[in-house]
Every structure is written in structure tokens, then in C-alpha cells.
Structure 1
Amino acid sequence: MNAPLTPVEAGWSAPANGAERTGAPTGGPETGGTMPSLLIARRILGLLSRVSLWIAGTLLVIMTAVVGWQVFGRYMLNDTPNWAEPLSLQFMSWFILLGAAVGVRDSVHLGLDLVHHVSPPWAQKAMDLVSLTLVAGFGVAMAWYGAKLAIGTWTATIPVLGWPGGVDFFPLVLGGILIALFAAERLVDTLLGVEIVADTATPEVV
């Protein structure tokens, strides 16, 4: 079995102070000049991931406040705000799908990986490629059909809120796009022999 590549051999940049490296391949004699583009793409996707996570967290907090006000109004004021439930459902759709997309990039979704762990490296890589391809395809399908549903229901109106019905499917569209992009990024990482450390989204050469 071939020895693992060193960071320099793999085209990774390492900090001078010896800190844990982050980022993406920077290029080398065998990269054909494509690695700088991958580095830029990774930074853009990293920014999208952080923004999505912040939006999801903010909406979760707002939804909690809305539901809290709904409960307070119902049991303390005897006057339930009728807008609270549909608005909280809107927020829930957004933070669930944005969080799911970030989970794809950070590799933190639950999975049954017993067979994966006991398989040889080449089989593990094949499983990862198949899995990520299916996830990317699922994201594309989710975005495509979500867009069709949004267009088809745009003339309807969401009760109480008065918004166009197509707004219900916006989280599906954006979440699908992000899932497809993040799965494609991990697919490229797998092909290049890069492993994402769970909970940090830090690339490691394997």
C-alpha cells in the first residue's frame, strides 16, 4: 500500500508556525493549474456555509421567541396570535434545510458506516463517491421540483400571512442548491484524496 502523501507532496499549504492546516490544495506540478481555482471555490463555499449556519441559528432563536409569545398569549392573555404558527413554520423550514446543507459540507449527518469501516480503502472511496453522487443528485432534484412547485403555487396565498404560496418552497430550492454544491465539493475532495474532519470542515490529506 502506498505511503500517505505529505502536505507538501499533496499540494497543501501549511502555516509556518506548525498550526493545524486549513483551506484547500494550492497547486503543484501535477495539478495542471486547477488547484488555485479549487481554493477559491472552497473559500466561497465556506462563506456560504457560515452564512447559512448563522441564518439558521438566528431563525431558530426567532422561532423560539414566536412560539413562546404564542404560548404566553394563549394561556396568559387569552388571545392567541393567529400569525404565530404559520410564521414559525416558515422559519422552521428555513433553518432545517439550511442546517441540513451545512451538515453535508461538514460531514456530520448520521450514517450506518459499519461496512464502510471494515472495507478496504478502495471500497471505502467507491462507497463515498456513490453516496455523495446520490446526495448531489437529491439536492438537484429537490431544487428543481421545489422551483416548479413555487412557480405553480405563486398565485395562491398563504392564509393569515398573506404571502404568495410559492414562498413555502423557497427553502426547498435554496436548500437543494446548497446540498448539491456542498456534496459536489466533497465529491471533488474524495477524488483528490482529501478527508473532511467532522465538526470542523478542515481538510486532511489521506
Structure 2
Amino acid sequence: MTRALNVLSKICLFASSFSLVLLVVIFGWLVFGRYVLNVTPTWVEQLSLLLVGYIAFVGSATGVHENSHLGVTLFREMLGSPFCEIASALADLILAAFGIVMMVACLELMRFGWSTNLPMLNIPESFRTLPALLCGGFTCLFAGTRGVLQIIQLFHTADASDERSL
């Protein structure tokens, strides 16, 4: 299971990185079109706004998986060994719950925006909400799995120490 999540995280990282490269390329085309061809491609602005969403949200889901996202761990680490592990598992489960809420809210936004097209791109407005929905789902999956595995490990460690004391 961990291997499958690692592969999924790498796919997210690749998609985010590819979006960043595509963003640089289309801005290069914007500069070339505006200053060399004297014809400004108007679709670049809309596509760049769309790509920034994918870069930020899908990339942040990878950060959740790799546990490199922004977090305040000072108080958790001050608790000591058993309480630190419990607080870490609890934080991951809360983060997973946040991911579910984010995913459900974005699903509603996607339904609302499906009938409206993005200007210049002629694709549904919902494609702007899709990266946030994906981020919520991946955050729930990555953090939830890590939280559940930490809880299982805590109970397994507690059972092993009980058997040793007998």
C-alpha cells in the first residue's frame, strides 16, 4: 500500500512539475508573440491561471505525502515519545478530515461551474476547481493512510510491550 501511495505521489509531483514547465513555455510564447510577431496570444492569461492552480494544489498534496508541508511541530515534539506519536496520528487524521471537507466542497463548486465556460479556452469553469478537489482527495488519502498506520503501529507496539511484561 505504501508503494502505491509513493507512486501516486510521484505522479502528482510529475503533473505539477509538467504544469510548471508548460507555464514557462506558454509565457515564452506570450513574449515571442507580443514582441516579435506583434500579435498577443490572449489565451495565455487564462491558461496560466489554470496551471497555477494545478501547480499549487497537486504539488501540495505531494507535500502532505512526503510530510514536508508547513506545520507547527514544536508542541507535538515537546510532548515526549508516546504522546508525540499520538499527537502526530491525530494531526494526520484531522488533516484527512480537512481533505474530505475540501473535496466535498469543491465537488459542489464543480457541479455549479460545469455549465459556464472559461473565456478564451472554451472549457468548463469547473477545471479551475478540479485541482482543489484532487488536492482534497489526495490529502485525505495520504494523511489518512499515514494516520491509520500510525495508530495501528501504536497499538501493535503497546501489545508487544504488554506481552514482554508478562
Q: Give the alignment's TM-score, normalised by structure 1.
A: 0.69
Mapped contact 2:90–2:147 kept (Cα < 8 A): no
Instruction: Considering fraction of residues, name the structure with more helix.
Output: 2
Which structure 2 residues correspond to residues 1-206 of structure 1 after superposition, within 5 A? 41-193=1-153
Structure 1: which 4+ aligned runs deviate by more than 3 Å? 75-78
Q: Secondary structure at the match of 2:71?
A: coil
Q: 1:107, 1:193 → 2: CA distance?
A: 18
What percent of counterpart residues are identical?
31
Distance in 2 (CA, whole Å) between partners of 1:165 and 1:62 is: 20
Q: Provide the rounded CA distance (Å) in 1 between the counterparts of 2:113 and 2:57.
A: 20
**Structure number with higher relative contact order (C-alpha < 8 Å, ≥ 6 residues apart):** 2
Q: Does the 8 Å contact 2:89/2:148 carry over to 1?
A: no
Partners of 1:112 and 1:166 lie apart in 2 by 33
Amino acid at match of 2:9: S
Structure 1 residue ranges without an equivalent (≥5):
1-40, 195-206
The CA deviation at 1:78 is 3.2
How far apart in 1 are the matches of 2:114 and 2:97? Answer: 25
Amino acid at match of 1:109: H
Q: Which residue of 2 aligns with 1:34?
A: none
Tell me the CA shift for residue 58 of structure 1. Answer: 1.0
Q: Residue 143 of structure 1: CA displacement?
A: 1.0
Unaligned runs of 5+ in 2: 155-166
Q: TM-score, length-normalised on structure 2?
A: 0.84
**Alignment RMSD, CA only?**
1.7
